[in-house]
Amino acid sequence: MEQKNEENKTMMLQALIMVFIVLFPLCGYSAIYGYVDERGIYHFTNITPIGKKYHTVIPDKSKYLLGKGLDSSNTNNKVYDPMIVRHSQTHGIDPSLVKAVMKAESNFNPNAVSPKGAQGLMQLMPDTAKLMKVENPFDPDENIKGGTRYLKFLENTFQGNIELMLAAYNAGPSRVMEYKRTVPPIEETINFIKRVKYYYNKLKNPHEG
């Protein structure tokens, strides 16, 4: 009997997952977590859970795509272009670079949260968001403003060296300084630089294969 109940729960969970996939196509590529409470009710969230026994229902596809390969399927997403252009002009930074970072960081998902706690479109860490005077990192306009301002800060810090700027954006300026102003030998950081440069080139030269 107990085994039958477990099978029913499994089937119900599978059905619920299918509903999620149909209604919310991988939720902008972010992960989906779930758990069953003591009453047998299923709970789901796309925010990295804390303090509950959640398990991964749908893995973070954006991190898989962006960490393992290059996904250019929606590089030309124009939803946030007006905000990107406005804040880029304010801070004197190339809007294509801002958009490339956004693509690599969140795949244009304003609700993205990384396992390390980075938030929103530009994946700002809480301390960075605070430093850039971002009150709500999930507000697209605020997040883009903060991320663009931070890129300008890094551009000034590293004299416009795009690889060092991106390395610092991913690993932190102190880590780049620790390696005497060179790209730290961190696989995630090296891959991040490659991804952003790839998307940046696609945005600057959209007609190239």
Domain membership of residue 14 (yes or no) is yes
Q: Are residues 125 and 108 in the same domain?
A: yes
Q: Are residues 37 and 73 in the same domain?
A: no
Q: Are residues 105 and 40 in the same domain?
A: no
Q: Are residues 55 and 74 in the same domain?
A: no
In sign, the C-alpha dihedral spanning 145, 147, 148, 149 is: positive
Domain membership of residue 26 (yes or no) is yes
Domain membership of residue 7 (yes or no) is yes
Which is catalytic among the residues 2, 105, 163, 187? Answer: 105
- Please work out, in degrees rounded to the nearest 5, the angle formed at the alpha carbon of residue 43 by the alpha carbons of 37 and 45: 140
Structural domain total, the chain: 2
Q: Are residues 95 and 198 in the same domain?
A: yes
38 catalytically annotated: no
Q: Supply the CATH number for residue 168's domain.
A: 1.10.530.10
pLDDT tens digits for the chain (209 residues)? 555 554 554 455 445 544 444 444 434 444 555 656 677 665 656 555 555 555 555 545 444 444 445 555 667 789 999 999 999 999 999 999 999 999 999 999 999 999 889 999 999 999 999 999 999 999 999 999 999 999 999 999 999 999 999 999 999 999 999 999 999 999 999 999 999 999 999 999 877 65
H, E, C per residue of the chain: CHHHHHHHHHHHHHHHHHHHHHHCHHHHHCCEEEEECCCCCEEEECCCCCCCCCEEEECCHHHHHHHHCCCCCCCCCCCCHHHHHHHHHHHCCCHHHHHHHHHHHHCCCCCCECCCCCECCCCECHHHHHHCCCCCCCCHHHHHHHHHHHHHHHHHHCCCCHHHHHHHHHHCHHHHHHCCCCCCCCHHHHHHHHHHHHHHHHHHCCCCC
Domain span at 55: 2-59
Domain membership of residue 209 (yes or no) is no
Q: Are residues 44 and 142 in the same domain?
A: no
Q: Are residues 28 and 92 in the same domain?
A: no
**What integer pLDDT is reported at residue 119 of this predicted model?**
95
Domain membership of residue 140 (yes or no) is yes
Q: Are residues 29 and 117 in the same domain?
A: no
pTM equals 0.68
**What integer pLDDT is reported at residue 177 of this predicted model?**
96
Please tell me the distance from the alpha carbon of residue 55 to that of residue 134, in angstroms, as a whole number.
Answer: 31
| Phi-psi label, residue 113: left if phi above 0, alpha if psi -120 to 50, beta otherwise | beta
Domain membership of residue 162 (yes or no) is yes
Q: Are residues 22 and 118 in the same domain?
A: no
Q: Are residues 193 and 148 in the same domain?
A: yes
Q: Are residues 46 and 127 in the same domain?
A: no
Q: Are residues 45 and 90 in the same domain?
A: no
